Structure 1
Amino acid sequence: MGLTGNAVLAVAAALAVGLFAVTVLLWPRLAARTAPAVVGRTFLLLATQLALFVAAGLLANHAFLFYGSWADLFGREQELGTVVDHGTGGGASGGVVRTGTRRPDVPGTGGPASVGRIDEVVVHGPASGIDSRAYVYLPPEYFQAAHAGRMFPAVIVLTGYPGTAENLVKGLRYPQTAHERVKAGRARPMVLVMLRPTVAPPRDTECVDIQDGPRTETFFARDLPRAVSRTYRVGERARNWGVIGNSTGGYCALKLGLHHPDRFAASAGLSAYYRAAEDPTTGDLFHGDRAARRRADLLWSLDHRPPAASSFLVTTSRQGEVNLRGTREFIDRVKAPARVSSIVLDSGGHNFATWRREIPPALEWLSSRLTGD
């Protein structure tokens, strides 16, 4: 049973309820002051409390998808053992190998021309040397005869750390939201490339090119857009590409847009922070290189890099987020010809519920700043 499945949640809830019922039924028999009775009471109380704790934890994870699998929960990364055989077709030469497909969870019947498609892929980065799994959402229009040959804008969608790409599909519902916005006439169809920023798990590389380590920024700024453009009907110019993410993914999105205006015309950071984290999960990112550390500080970069005609979207809340001050500083430091927009909620924490409120307008904002041609 998968960690996020309904079956494991039902079993945990049933076990908790069952242990509670057994405790109530057996409590009169265990009321004596004998050693066996004391041991029995202690065991039932501890078992019931543990079962309730597990059930509550699974319920919270089911709602917010903090962990996508048992391996993710216990810190075991299974993806490292995946072997992909590359053929000689256009997909392989483009750096993208499709390993499966799935139907988006959207209303409607029929094939991809009605509901779209999600491709499960592995992206190979020749410049960075990084291979990463991703989901590619293709809107229904991508398959319709009326749009044959049409180029589509694309958006890289990044999770936080240590999230999984599955969070973007199930928890944050990016494909469903994009579909709804298009149907409502609020956005244009876009290709979504969904993955985690942790392309060298379990290390949090903060989208930095690390000396003698993973070249994460190179993967996202060069390898990923090039591979997708060579595999799907997506252009290669900056106006064809955007990037969005939450938390760590939000920091990465803003950094990619700031450092690579020739690659990305628009970037959105949901609950982003503005300086690279440095803690046990990241290890030594900069190896004493002060220039690299300053470059990873977005506020410093805004003050010291020549502004480009890029668009930025930042989000925060007046109550519940710790990035309110940093977000205001970011807004104040953006200089023309760059443009900056913001979403400031009255209240909202650093969680999926908040991001679900921000994703629909953020996708509309991206759609208004990108083009397929």
Structure 2
Amino acid sequence: MLEPNSVALVVLLWVSFAAAVVAVVVLWPRLARRRPLALLGRLGTQVGASALVVLAAAATLNQQNGWYGTWSDLGRDLMGTPPSVQRVAVKGDLQTAGQYSASAAAEADLRAQRLFGPERAVFARDAKLHVAPGPHGQWLHVVIPGLGKAAGRGAGKAMIWLPPAYVDGPSQATYPVIEAYAGIPGSPADYQKRMGLQNIIVRAHQKSGLIEPVVVVPDYTPSGIDTECTNSGGIDMETWLTKTVPAWTVRHLRVRPDKESWAVMGFSAGGFCAEVSAFLHPQQYGSVMLFGTYNNPSWGNWTPYGRRSIWPARYSMLNVVRQTPPPVDVWIEVSEGDRFAGPPSRSLINAAHGRMSVTSVYLPGAGHRFDVWQAVMPVALEWLGHAEPGFHGVIGDGVTHGTPRARSDDRVVLRGRKEDARPA
């Protein structure tokens, strides 16, 4: 059967279009008369040829991008029916739950409060946070320095979502963090405007008890450069994402510094970015959620090593997992009809071993597109709330009110640069 992403369908439609053009040329003289049948014939040939070229172009784009893998998937989307989870598989034991120490996490949280309380208060004032942000929180635009001149002007942009309780709740309460990466083409705003992540988080909080996290969405494509979240071509994007951004976040926002309270996620190209962050920096992130991911850099408009097929060995994520499996918990969406991300996702699952756990969610026939990932985002967040100790429980005002002084024995590892950040 000719599936919507098959090469055979693309060839058939373009051949049909060419035949339709020939038919128009051959039949047009016969249809030049001013009779009803001739008029209908001219209209029919033009409409038919136009429809075929549109279908051929659509099939070509679908074949290149893998939006729809099966006719049933296309039909469900046209009917407005979201994809459903076919099965869930679990491989390995959850890592962070066994490693988590509530007392150590609380101690690290208190140290961060003492060290950065004044800076957090200044940032909240300068950012002009809404006192009553509404039931779905508020988004901020910020600039986080540290990328350098090679990244171009305007580098370091990020969007941040603060849950409603961040302003309306206890003034000393602290929150877990999700660092999220968008796809390409795309931007951090996709999480706000297209996905409506803020609404999904609020519903997950109400349904499953997920602690509403702070969400940080950095822009890893400065000046339109597809960095693939790597340290390449003079742009240290990996370092900025995994060291500078977390350090800035802990310094300026009331968030928890322990790895069990940090998760990273991404879809498509952002999924690979999430792999780079979690697998190469498991000391920073306890869990990772992957949607339509792949396991090697997929250079687009930028080839820092001369060819698209060349990259440093450290960015071959399958080799990383096989050789030194990171102690992280992985949630991964596998679309059975996604010929781009389906095979890499299954390869990653098969490669996982050791201290790495993988929860796989399979969608029958689904393709590589945004609404698929949007549909399963609640499933991922529910998993996060149940699996990761830093993301479930109750936000309380466990810290003494006021602005405590930093003590000489307070130490928090800051892996980023110390420049003052500013609201965008």
Does the 8 Å CA contact 1:163/1:196 hold for their aligned counterparts? Answer: no
Residues 1:216 and 1:284: Cα distance change in structure 2 (over 3 Å): same
SS in 2 for 1:135: strand
Match of 1:207 in 2: 229
For residues 294 and 147 of structure 2, the distance between their equivalents in structure 1, rounded to whole angstroms, comes to 29
For residues 33 and 160 of structure 2, the distance between their equivalents in structure 1, rounded to whole angstroms, comes to 63
Tell me if 1:121 matches 2:164: no
Q: 1:358 aligns with which of 376, 381, 385?
A: 376
Does the 8 Å CA contact 1:98/1:119 hold for their aligned counterparts? Answer: no
Does the 8 Å CA contact 2:147/2:237 hold for their aligned counterparts? Answer: no
**One-letter code aligned to 2:334:** T
Consecutive unaligned residues in structure 1, runs of 5 or more: 1-30, 34-40, 58-65, 67-88, 103-109
Tell me if 1:136 matches 2:160: yes
Residues 1:371 and 1:113: Cα distance change in structure 2 (over 3 Å): farther
Tell me if 1:245 matches 2:263: no
Superposition deviation, residue 182 in structure 1: 0.9
Superposition deviation, residue 195 in structure 1: 3.4
Tell me if 1:234 matches 2:255: yes
Superposition deviation, residue 101 in structure 1: 6.4
SS in 1 for 2:235: coil
SS in 1 for 2:332: strand
Residues 1:340 and 1:275: Cα distance change in structure 2 (over 3 Å): same
Q: 1:176 aligns with which of 192, 196, 199?
A: 199
For residues 148 and 91 of structure 1, the distance between their equivalents in structure 2, rounded to whole angstroms, comes to 11
What number of residue pairs does the alignment pair up?
Answer: 286
Does the 8 Å CA contact 2:147/2:235 hold for their aligned counterparts? Answer: no
Q: Deviations over 1:14-67 (max 9, x none)?
A: xxxxxxxxxxxxxxxxx999xxxxxxx9xxx99xx8xxx9xxx9xxxxxxxx9x
For residues 97 and 366 of structure 1, the distance between their equivalents in structure 2, rounded to whole angstroms, comes to 31
Could you tell me the TM-score, scaled by structure 1's length? Answer: 0.66
For residues 320 and 32 of structure 1, the distance between their equivalents in structure 2, rounded to whole angstroms, comes to 50
Q: 1:190 aligns with which of 213, 220, 223?
A: 213
Residues 1:115 and 1:284: Cα distance change in structure 2 (over 3 Å): closer
For residues 285 and 203 of structure 1, the distance between their equivalents in structure 2, rounded to whole angstroms, comes to 14
Tell me if 1:313 matches 2:314: no
For residues 263 and 370 of structure 1, the distance between their equivalents in structure 2, rounded to whole angstroms, comes to 15
Does the 8 Å CA contact 1:278/1:285 hold for their aligned counterparts? Answer: no
Residues 1:319 and 1:114: Cα distance change in structure 2 (over 3 Å): closer
For residues 218 and 189 of structure 1, the distance between their equivalents in structure 2, rounded to whole angstroms, comes to 27
Match of 2:295 in 1: 274
Q: 2:174 aligns with which of 137, 140, 151?
A: 151
**One-letter code aligned to 2:323:** H
Q: Deviations over 1:252-285 (max 9, x none)?
A: 1012100000011111110001111134x13124
**One-letter code aligned to 1:142:** Y
**One-letter code aligned to 1:301:** V
Does the 8 Å CA contact 2:290/2:331 hold for their aligned counterparts? Answer: yes
Q: Looking at both structures, which has the greater relative contact order when contacts are Cα pairs under 8 Å and sequence separation is at least 6?
A: 2
Query: After TM superposition, where is structure 1 displaced by more than 3 Å over at least 4 residues in a row?
Result: 91-94, 96-102, 126-131, 285-290
Match of 1:303 in 2: 322
Does the 8 Å CA contact 2:208/2:382 hold for their aligned counterparts? Answer: no
Residues 1:316 and 1:114: Cα distance change in structure 2 (over 3 Å): closer
SS in 2 for 1:309: coil
Does the 8 Å CA contact 1:241/1:265 hold for their aligned counterparts? Answer: yes
Superposition deviation, residue 364 in structure 1: 1.9
Consecutive unaligned residues in structure 2, runs of 5 or more: 1-31, 35-41, 59-66, 68-117, 396-424
SS in 1 for 2:175: coil
Superposition deviation, residue 185 in structure 1: 3.2
Match of 2:13 in 1: none
**One-letter code aligned to 1:364:** E
Does the 8 Å CA contact 2:270/2:293 hold for their aligned counterparts? Answer: yes
Please tell me whether Structure 1 or Structure 2 has the larger radius of gyration of its CA atoms.
Answer: 2
Q: 1:161 aligns with which of 184, 192, 196?
A: 184
Does the 8 Å CA contact 1:244/1:269 hold for their aligned counterparts? Answer: yes
Could you tell me the TM-score, scaled by structure 2's length? Answer: 0.59
For residues 306 and 177 of structure 2, the distance between their equivalents in structure 1, rounded to whole angstroms, comes to 31
For residues 171 and 121 of structure 2, the distance between their equivalents in structure 1, rounded to whole angstroms, comes to 23
**One-letter code aligned to 1:271:** G
Q: 2:303 aligns with which of 251, 258, 283?
A: 283
For residues 276 and 178 of structure 1, the distance between their equivalents in structure 2, rounded to whole angstroms, comes to 30
Does the 8 Å CA contact 2:178/2:216 hold for their aligned counterparts? Answer: yes
Superposition deviation, residue 348 in structure 1: 1.5
Residues 1:189 and 1:177: Cα distance change in structure 2 (over 3 Å): same
RMSD, aligned α-carbons? 3.8
**One-letter code aligned to 1:151:** T
For residues 389 and 33 of structure 2, the distance between their equivalents in structure 1, rounded to whole angstroms, comes to 74
Superposition deviation, residue 183 in structure 1: 1.9
- The answer to which of 344-353 and 111-120 deviates more is 111-120
Q: How does 1:87-102 map to 2 (within 5 A)?
A: 90=119
